[in-house]
Amino acid sequence: MDTKVILTEKEMPTSWYNILPDLPQPLPPLLHPGTKEPTRLPPPLFPEALNEQEFSTERYIEIPEEVQEIYKLWRPTPLNRAYRLEKALDTPARIYYKYEGVSPAGSHKPNTAVAQAYYVKKEGFKRISTETGAGQWGSALAMGCMFFGLECKVYMVKVSYYQKPYRRSMMETWGAKVVPSPGEDTEIGRRILAEDPDSPGSLGIAISEAVEDAFAHDDTKYSLGSVLNHVLLHQTIAGQEAKKQLEKIDAYPDIIVGCIGGGSNFSGVFFPFVKDKIEGRRPDLQVICVEPEACPSVTKGPYTWDYGDVAGLAPIVKMYTLGHTFIPPKIHAGGLRYHGMAPIICHLHHLGLIDCRAEHQIPVFKSAVVFARAEGIIPAPEPAHAIKVVIDEALKCKQSGEKKNILLALSGHGHFDMGAYDEYFSGRLEDYEYPKEKVEEALTHLPKV
Amino acid sequence: MDTKVILTEKEMPTSWYNILPDLPQPLPPLLHPGTKEPTRLPPPLFPEALNEQEFSTERYIEIPEEVQEIYKLWRPTPLNRAYRLEKALDTPARIYYKYEGVSPAGSHKPNTAVAQAYYVKKEGFKRISTETGAGQWGSALAMGCMFFGLECKVYMVKVSYYQKPYRRSMMETWGAKVVPSPGEDTEIGRRILAEDPDSPGSLGIAISEAVEDAFAHDDTKYSLGSVLNHVLLHQTIAGQEAKKQLEKIDAYPDIIVGCIGGGSNFSGVFFPFVKDKIEGRRPDLQVICVEPEACPSVTKGPYTWDYGDVAGLAPIVKMYTLGHTFIPPKIHAGGLRYHGMAPIICHLHHLGLIDCRAEHQIPVFKSAVVFARAEGIIPAPEPAHAIKVVIDEALKCKQSGEKKNILLALSGHGHFDMGAYDEYFSGRLEDYEYPKEKVEEALTHLPKV
């Protein structure tokens, strides 16, 4: 076969795949953080269409034409056969990767950012507010809003705002207004600054500011970049493409590997395949989620009810959690530093349909370098976690002689993470053990349901 | 038509296009810097195959299969119709862009880096030495060497080595050894450090170090990333692809626009088209080279004999030059800060076959933002110069009502240049007038031929 499997724009899927109606058991409900009763997403924060998608029982949801047109700026994305990596590992396994780094933002995030901006615009609103840490999600949403002429206000954690100006410049290039959080634009920001004018900010504070902004402005909605069902739904464009691409070369994966932080990138890739496992066509399909040892919600956390956010204002969901007050160590894979996990991923794991592993940061970077030296692409630290497991599995095949097909969800490139590679090469990269005591403490703060 | 025109790997051109035999008049020779007699490239520095390509009269030169295999990791690259930019400008013009930013290095540079590494390896050598400023070329060559198991030693201008560590980390990720220049590894480096231990370095010094390294080691060749004929040759893969892609939609450009620093990226795109103009099939084809007002060799320099390098050690070539001792102002488009220009581009310009314009930095960034907000992709500062002219030409079409086809050579993305965008948005971006007096001074140092 060729190195890449290419789809034409006409072959691009025109619907997202909604896994909800195919789940063997229904997903536990969202609970209202106050009443603890089943609830929808707070309507002042989310457009109606996304609230519908969140609970939809339709198996396929049409991708609006306007969204398809924008996807086509960079989609369908390539699926590559990693010939050179296979050779470097001397493995009989066949390794494929679905590469989302060709989007202008360099990751999978625009798949949902563009869709969310579309629905906000369609329902007549003018602005979206959101939070961002290092800027990965903020930049994708800035781009999405730009395409539909929406204002975008990004509350960026103050320490990143000043230390990582590049993603901020990216957001500004795409027309977003970016402010350091905490800041003077919200009540909660002003309150925190009054107490501590030098507050470095946190993702929790930035979320609170963005939510307050959306509640305070009638023309504004709030947007989340992962975890929620509708976000995972929008990412399924990638997995459906990958499935078509593999069909073209008569291949089907034995193992699918991806990293999980909130869970959206990997869900997008494996949902269309795990459907075949749920329905009995591919009982042996192995889906491996990879999370950091420093923040191992699925591998180490209990499956229980917890708040989706640090402040305890978001709906309560049933998930594997390290406790919503847990602050993960500062690993470079910022996108994997979340205390919980997308409810659908947790549900599938609880049902025994998917596996999960946790990996340490230093071997993860070692694997990333092996990949970059074989395939050229320098991966972001998040999918580098998945690469570690792909290499492990390929080496197992070398031992056993099995010619397994391994599919890697390569969610983005590392162009904005070269400082982390620099730390790795200079020997300054720290590793982090599982912070057991901090997690045990955080788990004492779970909500009573 | 679709947004993108896609070629399959089977449709990828298998030869480079050599313009030399099609030139209406022969290219003036290279002259030896000492004897001033016609000369080849210094054989201790360049592999034999590249020296042959430099003067070849073969119209098509086969791309070695091993090089094709590596190209296929990211090639053929997309050709996009810029529907959204056309709409934003309200122009009847049709704008197309050939996008080289999908390579793992983010630019067109790997097209020649991979080829050069191949020939060095094939002729039995083990190492390549080169210089790099901010790291664009060094990173592409690091990747090229990696694919063929060659050692790569990059002499990186010291001030960039410490101030711009990201490209350095990229080179290290691909296995290159990167040292700050001047450094202790060469005689010239030690001499300069003895005189000034705090020397910030310069591209001239780095070239001297890399050349000394290659001369000093029997197993080592030296490599250049632009200007020379064989480098331009390797870039023609892009233009041949673009031509095929436009043929698929029955289109032919009226205007082709690209930026020129050393000249390789744009040559690669327009050579296969200008052939049609030379041969009378497309007499009206307009080719517009764009250079920075701060370093306008073709628009302001004389067409005369000058050294290719600052130190006066390289062969003397006939070109438009601002004088080899001229140090251009510090515009962000580092790739366009060269005192001269590829001899073939100069020759074609002298023969009246192509045009050239110079643009100021601030309107260039303004145009880059217009492009990013329409098409998503954030361009590097170098091709942003070409975007300025594309927008000008599209607006002329709006005035005249002409439906011209405009082809843009979009050589790379700006992910490593966001600091420049940050300066632009904060109003700190400086502009530079044409440094007339410095050029006049530099032109008093031309070699006597």
> CB A369 to CB B419 under 8 A?
no
pLDDT single digits (tens) A92-125 = 999 999 999 999 999 999 999 999 999 999 999 9
| B143/A106 Cβ within 8 A | no
**A175 lies in the same domain as A123:** yes
- What's the mean pLDDT in B364-370? 98
Shared domain check, B421 and B310: yes
Report the gap between the CA of B108 and the closest CA in chain A (Å).
14
| A92 and A48 housed in the same domain | no
User: Which residues on B lie below 8 Å from A418 (Cβ)?
Assistant: 165-167, 169-170, 173
**Quick check: A418 and B372 CB within 8 A?**
no
Residues 6 or more apart whose Cβ sits within 8 Å of residue A144: A110, A113, A114, A115, A116, A117, A118, A152
Q: What pLDDT is attached to residue B428?
A: 95
For residues B26-52, give the mean pLDDT.
96
Residues A41 and A85 reside in one and the same domain: no
Chain A residues with CB-CB distance to B106 below 8 A: 415
A302-317: pLDDT as tens digits: 999 999 988 888 899 9
Split at pLDDT 50, 70, 90, the class of B164 is confident
Query: B131 lies in a domain?
Result: yes
- The answer for residues whose C-beta is within 8 angstroms of residue A139's C-beta and 6 or more apart is A105, A109, A132, A167, A170, A171, A174
Of the residues A178, A193, A223, the one at which a domain ends: A223
Domain harbouring B164, CATH code: 3.40.50.1100
Domain boundary among B185, B201, B223: B223
Inside any domain, residue A14: no
Rounded to a whole number of angstroms, the distance from the CA of A391 to the nearest CA of chain B is 18
Distance from CA of B338 to the nearest CA of A (A): 26
- The rounded mean pLDDT for chain A is 96
Do B262 and B295 belong to one domain? yes
Q: Contact A8/B6, CB-based, under 8 Å?
A: yes
- Cα A385 to Cα A387: distance, rounded to the nearest angstrom: 5
Say what the pLDDT of residue A314 is. 86
Least Cα distance to A408 among A424, A428, A432, A385 occurs for: A385
Q: Per-residue pLDDT tens for A56-84?
A: 999 999 999 999 999 999 999 999 999 99
Q: Which domain holds residue B156?
A: 24-64+110-223
Residue A33's contacts (CB-CB under 8 Å, 6 or more residues apart) are: A307, A312, A313, A314, A315, A316, A447
Check pLDDT > 80 for residue B364: yes
CB B237 within 8 A of CB B268: yes
Give the β-pairing of B220-222 and B127-132: parallel
CB distance A48 to A124 below 8 Å: no
Number of H helices, E strands in chain B: 17, 15
Residues of B in contact with A167 (CB under 8 A): 418
Instruction: Let me know whether A362 and A403 are in one domain.
Output: yes
* Shared-domain flag, residues A98 and A114: no
Residue B19 lies in a domain: no
- At B210, is the secondary structure helix, strand, or coil? helix
Cβ–Cβ contacts within 10 Å for residue B418, how many? 21
Q: Are residues B266 and B373 in the same domain?
A: yes
Whole-angstrom Cα distance, residue B213 to residue A279? Answer: 63
Contacts of B429 in chain A (CB under 8 A): none
Partner residue opposite B376 with nearest CB, options A2, A104, A373: A104
Inter-chain residue contact A2 with B146, CB threshold 8 Å = no
Query: Rounded mean pLDDT of A244-272?
Result: 98
- Condensed to tens digits (0 to 9), the pLDDT of residues B271-282 reads 999 999 999 999
ipTM reported for the complex, 2 dp? 0.96
Asked if A287 and A440 touch (Cβ cutoff 8 Å), the reply is: no
Evaluate the CA torsion angle A274, A276, A279, A283 in order and state its sign: negative
Residue A228 lies in a domain: no
Kindly report, residue by residue over A323-337, the tens digit of the pLDDT: 999 989 989 998 999
Number of domains in chain B: 2
Query: Which of these ranges, A365-369, B397-401, B427-431, has the smallest mean pLDDT?
Result: B427-431
Cis peptide before A42 (omega within 30 of 0): no
Residue B201 placed within a domain? yes
Instruction: Evaluate if residue A438 carries a pLDDT over 90.
Output: yes
Position A353 confidence tier, pLDDT thresholds 50, 70, 90: very high
pLDDT reading at B1 higher than 80? no
Report how far apart, in Å, the C-alpha atoms of B403 and of each of B80, B91, B244, B391, B400 are.
17, 8, 21, 14, 9
Residue of A nearest to B418 (CA): A166
Asked whether residue B3 is domain-assigned, the answer is no
Q: Would the pLDDT of B203 be above 80?
A: yes
pLDDT band at A277 (very low <50, low <70, confident <90, very high): very high
**% of chain B exceeding 90 in pLDDT:** 92
CA dist B252 and A128 (Å) reads 42
In sequence order, the β-bridge partners of residue B433 are: none
Residue A10 maps to a domain: no
Q: Which of B158, B190, B223 is the last residue of a domain?
A: B223
**Minimal Cα–Cα distance from B325 to chain A, Å?**
34
Q: A250 and A198 in one domain?
A: no
CB contact under 8 A, A378 and B170: yes
* Minimum Cα–Cα distance from B72: chain A residue: A3
Which residues of chain B are within 8 Å of residue A74 when distances are taken between CB atoms? 376
Q: Amino acid identity, residue A320?
A: Y
What pLDDT score was predicted for residue A175? 97
- Rounded-to-integer distance, Cα A308 and Cα B229, Å: 60
Residue B311 has pLDDT above 90, yes or no: no
Q: Which residues of A touch B9 (CB under 8 A)?
A: 2-4, 6
Q: Are residues B195 and B274 in the same domain?
A: no
Residue A373's pLDDT band (boundaries 50, 70, 90)?
very high
**A-interface mutation test, from B83, B145, B415, most A Cβ less than 10 A away:** B415
How confident is the model at residue B144, as a pLDDT?
Answer: 98
- A203 confidence band (pLDDT: 50, 70, 90): confident
Is B419–A2 a contact, with Cβ atoms under 8 angstroms apart? no
**A4 occurs within a structural domain:** no
**Residue A352 — left, alpha, or beta (φ > 0 → left; ψ -120 to 50 → alpha)?**
left
Which residues 6+ apart lie within 8 Å of B281 measured at CB?
none
A366 lies in the same domain as A380:
yes
pLDDT (tens digit per residue) in B406-422: 999 999 999 999 999 99
Are B268 and B108 in contact by the 8 Å Cβ rule? The answer is: yes
Q: Name the maximum alpha-carbon separation found in chain A.
A: 64
Q: Supply the mean pLDDT for chain B.
A: 96
B283 lies in the same domain as B171 = no
Amino acid making up residue A74: W
In the predicted model, is pLDDT for residue A1 greater than 80? no
Q: How confident is the model at residue B359 (pLDDT cuts 50, 70, 90)?
A: very high
